[in-house]
């Protein structure tokens, strides 16, 4: 591991909570595609499978920020454990309902309740922020490392979920995902020394949502469209691989996509670029949009794999830059909620993208599903351009944090950190 990455783990407790976060975050890439594969294996109905995963994503989008807001107020351990138990119980009931052919509405109810799944990635990033808030370069490296961990999860998660559900039994993928979530959250919340201090409302004095920040509104809206890219690619790739007679290969194709992002994240974490972070973020969003175009030209799985690898190169750098902008625009007492709103935007987009793509695939074939990906990329770029001026304005509701030299955290991110 390059020395900048070794350096961030010098702080006590960082290895422990990072490892726990890896386990707890793995279900992010397993549950949706696992349910999609499970339903398609049992019923063969892609539209139904997409609608069910969309319901889960939308429920998480509604409930997730509220869970994180409670975490900011009461602490991670007090909130995450009960929320995780409810989520795991709902997923277990969903699997029983699917296996026994219960009415469709029972599946949707279980998926909606499972939406209380906590944003483990936000919890881990909040711990890094507490440790390195006054060290912008180390914080940039930590955010880069977490983006790499995200991509590692997206490399191995779909492989596990699709592989288990297609070779073992249909419910195996979501089942293992629920177990990982339970174990990861329990290990993370057992580490109290690095847990961010709660900010009760009586002390906070501000009961408004973090989403009141104009900058966060732009980031969240853009990531709704970005999530639609992710959701559409998952569904289209699974269906395209099935049309080619190699359905199980979809997990490896999606892993190659994540590998491109992982590689870019590792390299980006070693860089300390100068210039405006906001401009770099807009360029990253535009690069993601342009990289969607070759997917529509894919005529076989090898071509698709190469195209997805190239498109993945823009993902991690954009995500890393996004986290830097959140840290600059959201008050510290609402940081976990602010990070979760990005996950919420992605979840809403994934729900929309996967649902629309499921209907498109059923009606016009798998490759046509990538039209949704291209459209979502264009929408993300348009929102990013339209909201650029909001990102360049100072954060509202709290004075920017300062380091020992008196420079604001926002200024440091704009001038020194990617």
- Is the pLDDT at 403 greater than 50, yes or no? no
| Averaged pLDDT for residues 256-266 | 85
Tell me whether residue 8 is in a domain: no
> How far is it, in rounded angstroms, from Cα 228 to Cα 90?
25
Q: What is the pLDDT of residues 282-324, one digit of tens each?
A: 999 999 999 999 988 888 889 999 999 999 898 888 888 887 7
Q: What CATH number is given to the structural domain containing 249?
A: 1.20.1250.20
| Statement: residue 409 has pLDDT above 70 | no
Asked whether the predicted pLDDT for residue 418 surpasses 50, the reply is no
pLDDT at 374: 93
Per the domain annotation, does 3 fall within a domain?
A: no
Please state, in angstroms and as integers, the Cα–Cα distance from residue 203 to each residue in 111, 198, 301, 334, following that order: 36, 10, 56, 13
pLDDT score at 394: 53
Q: What is the pLDDT of residue 399?
A: 41
Rg (the chain; Cα; Å):
20
Residues 192-210 pLDDT 10s: 888 888 877 644 445 676 7
Q: Has residue 89 been placed in a domain? A: yes
Categorize the per-residue pLDDT at 341 as very low, low, confident or very high, splitting at 50, 70 and 90.
confident
Average pLDDT of the residues in 235-245: 86
Provide the Cα torsion 266, 268, 272, 278; round to 10°: -140
In this structure, of 30-39, 249-258, 288-297, 399-408, the range with the lowest mean pLDDT score is 399-408
- Mean pLDDT is lowest, of 118-127, 183-192, 200-209, 280-289, for 200-209
| pLDDT (average), residues 342-353 | 78
Please answer whether residues 121 and 25 qualify as being in contact, where contact means their C-beta atoms are separated by less than 8 angstroms.
yes
Q: What is the pLDDT of residue 98?
A: 84
- Whole-number pLDDT of residue 88: 93
Element (H, E) at 177: helix 172-189
Calculate the average pLDDT of the chain.
81
Does residue 406 register a pLDDT over 50? no
Who wins on pLDDT, 202 or 332?
A: 332
Which phi and psi angles does 263 have, rounded to 5°?
-60, -45
Residues of the domain holding 66: 16-196+209-396+406-415
Distance CA 206, CA 120 (A): 25
Does 362 reside within a domain?
A: yes
| Dihedral sign (CA 100, 102, 106, 107) | positive
Report yes or no on 62 lying in a domain.
yes
pLDDT of res. 400: 41
* Structure tokens that stand for 163 in this block: 């592989």
Q: Is 75 part of any domain?
A: yes
Does the structure show a pLDDT above 50 at 43? yes
Instruction: Please count the structural domains in the chain.
Output: 1
φ and ψ at residue 402, rounded to 5 degrees: -120, 150
Residue 127 lies in a domain: yes
pLDDT, mean of residues 39-44 = 76
| Separation between Cα atoms, residue 116 and residue 227, nearest integer Å | 19
Task: Provide the percentage of residues in the chain whose pLDDT is more than 90.
Answer: 18
> What are the pLDDT digits (tens) for 53-66?
778 877 887 888 88
Global model pTM greater than 0.75 = no
Condensed to tens digits (0 to 9), the pLDDT of residues 356-399 reads 888 888 888 888 889 999 999 999 999 998 888 877 765 544 44
- Res 355 pLDDT > 60: yes
Q: Is residue 204 part of a domain?
A: no
* Statement: residue 260 has pLDDT above 80: yes
């Amino acid at each position: 591991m390059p020395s900048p990455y070794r350096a961030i783990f010098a702080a006590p407790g960082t290895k422990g909570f990072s490892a726990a976060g890896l386990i707890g975050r793995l279900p992010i890439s397993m549950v949706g595609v696992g349910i999609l594969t499970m339903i398609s294996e049992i019923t063969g109905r892609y539209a139904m499978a997409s609608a069910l995963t969309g319901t889960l994503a939308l429920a998480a989008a509604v409930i997730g920020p509220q869970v994180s807001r409670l975490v900011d107020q009461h602490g991670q351990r007090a909130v995450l454990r009960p929320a995780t138990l409810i989520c795991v119980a709902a997923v277990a009931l969903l699997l029983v309902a699917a296996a026994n052919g219960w009415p469709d509405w029972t599946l949707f109810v279980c998926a909606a309740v499972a939406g209380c799944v906590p944003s483990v990635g936000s919890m881990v990033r909040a711990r890094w922020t507490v440790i390195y808030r006054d060290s912008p370069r180390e914080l940039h490296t930590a955010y880069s490392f977490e983006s790499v961990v995200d991509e590692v999860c997206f490399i191995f998660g779909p492989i596990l979920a699709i592989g288990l559900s297609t070779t073992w039994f249909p419910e195996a993928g979501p089942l293992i995902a629920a177990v990982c979530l339970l174990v990861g959250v329990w290990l993370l919340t057992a580490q109290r020394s690095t847990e961010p201090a709660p900010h009760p409302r009586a002390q906070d004095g501000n009961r408004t949502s973090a989403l009141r920040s104009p900058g966060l509104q732009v980031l969240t809206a853009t990531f709704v469209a970005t999530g639609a890219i992710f959701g559409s690619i998952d569904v289209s790739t699974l269906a395209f691989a099935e049309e080619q007679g190699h359905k199980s290969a979809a997990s490896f194709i999606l892993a190659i996509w994540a590998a491109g992002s992982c590689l870019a994240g590792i390299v980006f974490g070693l860089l300390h670029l100068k210039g405006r972070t906001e401009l770099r973020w807009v360029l990253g969003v535009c690069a993601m949009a342009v990289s969607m175009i070759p997917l529509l030209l894919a005529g076989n799985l090898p071509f698709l794999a190469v195209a997805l690898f190239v498109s993945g190169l823009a993902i991690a750098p954009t995500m890393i830059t996004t986290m830097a902008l959140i840290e600059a625009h959201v008050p510290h007492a609402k940081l976990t909620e602010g990070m979760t709103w990005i996950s919420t935007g992605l979840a809403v987009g994934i729900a929309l993208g996967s649902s629309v793509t499921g209907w498109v695939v059923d009606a016009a074939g798998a490759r046509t599903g990538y039209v949704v990906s291209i459209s979502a990329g264009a929408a993300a770029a348009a929102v990013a351009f339209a909201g650029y001026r909001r990102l360049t304005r100072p954060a509202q509701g709290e004075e920017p944090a300062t380091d020992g030299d008196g420079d604001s955290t926002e200024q440091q991110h704009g001038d020194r950190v990617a």
